[in-house]
Amino acid sequence: MNSKVLQWIRPEVRGQTAYHVTESSDVIKLDAMENPYTWPDPLITKWLELIRGAPINRYPDPAARKLKGRLRESMEIDSSADVILGNGSDELIQMVIMAVAKSGCVVMAPEPTFVMYKIISTWAAMNYVGIPLNSDFSLDLGAMLSAIRKLQPAVVFLAYPNNPTGNLFPRTEVQQIIETAPGLVVIDEAYHAFAGSSFMDEIGRYDNLLVMRTVSKMGLAGLRLGYMAGLPQWISEIDKLRLPYNISVITQLTVDFALEHREILDKQAQAIKAERENIYKTLEQLQGVTVFPTHTNFILFRVAKGRADGIFKGLLENGVLIKNMSPAGGLLQDCLRATIGTPQENATFLKALKAII
Ligand SMILES: *Cc1c(COP(=O)(O)O)cnc(C)c1O
């Protein structure tokens, strides 16, 4: 390697590999938890009218006041809370970690979980500690609480429900973690639209709770908008690390418009949940397949030992892209994760899967 690169780029950066996204033209895309549905034509026409008048020669409102107002009302944000917006919740994770980054400081999460907690902690030279889940993907509460007491993490991330496992940790266990943690606890509710449980209304009860969500999984992944609610004293500090104008004019207008027509997104979520039950039941009956309960828009399942790679490739040859979790190893050995698609997409996926198995 170029010696100047070696000299100047930090070792923890050189040691990482860039976030990998599988190329996916002409396939049924069930790998990234996207909502498969688009909008009805009349709504698209109305949206284009709005965009026609968008002042793209101007910087966006840095405080995104209109959109925040809409989120408050549409997403039942606790009145004791302030809100901060990110270019996807990924950017919010980055802001939280930057705000606490001190050498030797710990970021903690159960494992396996959403990979960005660890990746961004590494960027910030923080000490990331993953506490293994039990083999059924439930929290090892004892291990979690004693690690929190011992390591005094600056932040604990809990994906609620968890990705890639799909399960919702018991509320009382999450509450014990919030009460035991000396620092911040970020409850990541990316799958809120499918979960039926939230900590949004508990923000005022604790002095260390942040609740983060995204519009990505509810059907607006292309816009990149995450939002995080918390007590004003936390949000005002984290807001200092936000790049000015981080939410584009088009994103602000479009998310506001979409939430004005929230019933369409809700209907899509309903359809996804109904399909989720169908897929669960079908997978449950397949020979050699163990399927895990899910409160999200994806399903994790385990196949017979050593077969995950072959099944993943076989599906791809049949034009269906899911996510092979097996290379991550550990509890995810032999596991595959499929996003819920349209009924036709799901039927194609299940037919191909049955044939391969
Ligand atoms: C998808 C996902 C995110 C990232 O969402 P963006 O808003 O698209 O950046 C965050 N957390 C979890 C648990 C996710 O699964």
The CB of 153 under 6 Å from ligand 1? The reply is: no
The CB of 163 under 6 Å from ligand 1? The reply is: yes
* Of the candidates 221, 194, 213, the residue with the CA atom closest to the CA atom of residue 276: 194
Q: Which atom of ligand 1 is nearest to the CA of 93?
A: 10
Q: Which atom of ligand 1 is nearest to the CA of 33?
A: 1
Distance from Cα 188 to the centre of ligand 1, integer Å: 8
b/e map 11-25, b = 16+ CB within 10 Å: eeeeeeeeeeeeeee
Which letter does DSSP use for residue 220 in this model?
I
- State the 10-residue block means of pLDDT for the chain, 357 residues long: 89 83 84 96 97 96 96 91 98 98 95 97 95 98 98 98 98 98 98 97 96 97 98 98 97 98 97 97 96 98 98 97 96 98 98 96
* Of the candidates 242, 259, 251, 238, the residue with the CA atom closest to the CA atom of residue 86: 242
The protein residue with its alpha carbon nearest to ligand 1, atom 11, reads 190
281's enclosing H/E stretch is helix 262-284
The CB of 189 under 6 Å from ligand 1? The reply is: no
State residue 336's pLDDT score.
98
User: CA-CA distance, 146 to 149, in Å (whole number)?
Assistant: 5
State residue 1's pLDDT score.
66
The CB of 161 under 6 Å from ligand 1? The reply is: no
The CB of 219 under 6 Å from ligand 1? The reply is: no
Q: Which atom of ligand 1 is nearest to the CA of 225?
A: 7
State residue 67's pLDDT score.
98
* Of the candidates 315, 78, 222, 42, the residue with the CA atom closest to the CA atom of residue 301: 315
State residue 79's pLDDT score.
84
Which tokens go with 235? 């949000």
Residues in the chain: 357
Which of 118, 156, 188 has most ligand 1 atoms within 8 Å of CB, for mutation?
A: 188
User: CA-CA distance, 191 to 49, in Å (whole number)?
Assistant: 30
